[in-house]
Amino acid sequence: MKIKYQGKETETDAPTIAIFLEENGVVANEVVIELDGEIVAADAIAGAPLRDGSDLNVFRIVAGG
């Protein structure tokens, strides 16, 4: 299926956000995840399905303040 990831069309067969992030080397506990305009809670990504056309944005939480 095709999803939009960070604004770019991306091919994936990952059934959930958690699996997609793992396959893309993203550590899930230091990110904010937005799926189709909604923030997905950290404890919900394992059960959050990706579908054809999903719009996924991942924002890294980096240090500094």
Partner 1 sequence: MSANTYLTEQERRILESVKVGIAGAGGLGSNVAMLLVRAGLKKLVIADFDIVAESNLNRQFFFRHQLGEKKVDALAHNLRLIEPDLNLALHDTQLTPVNIDYVFAGCQIIVEALDSAEAKSMLLHSLLPLGKPVVSAIGLAGWGGSNDIRTRRVGRNLILVGDQTRDVRDGFAPVGVRVSIAAAHEANAVCALLLGEEL
Give 38 or 52: the residue with its C-beta nearer to partner 1. Answer: 38
Minimum distance of partner 1 from residue 31's CB (angstroms): 8
Span between the terminal Cα atoms of the chain, in Å: 39
Looking at residues 22 to 51 of the shown chain, list those that interact with partner 1 (rule: CB under 8 A): 29-30, 32, 34, 37-39, 41-42
Minimum distance of partner 1 from residue 36's CB (angstroms): 10
Task: Decide if residue 7 touches partner 1 (CB under 8 A).
Answer: no
Q: Where are the beta strands (DSSP E) in 1-65?
A: 2-5, 8-11, 31-35, 38-40, 55-60
SS3 12: coil
What does the angle CA 52 – CA 31 – CA 41 come to, to the nearest 5 degrees? 70
Chain residues binding partner 1 by CB under 8 A are 29-30, 32, 34, 37-39, 41-42, 57, 59-65
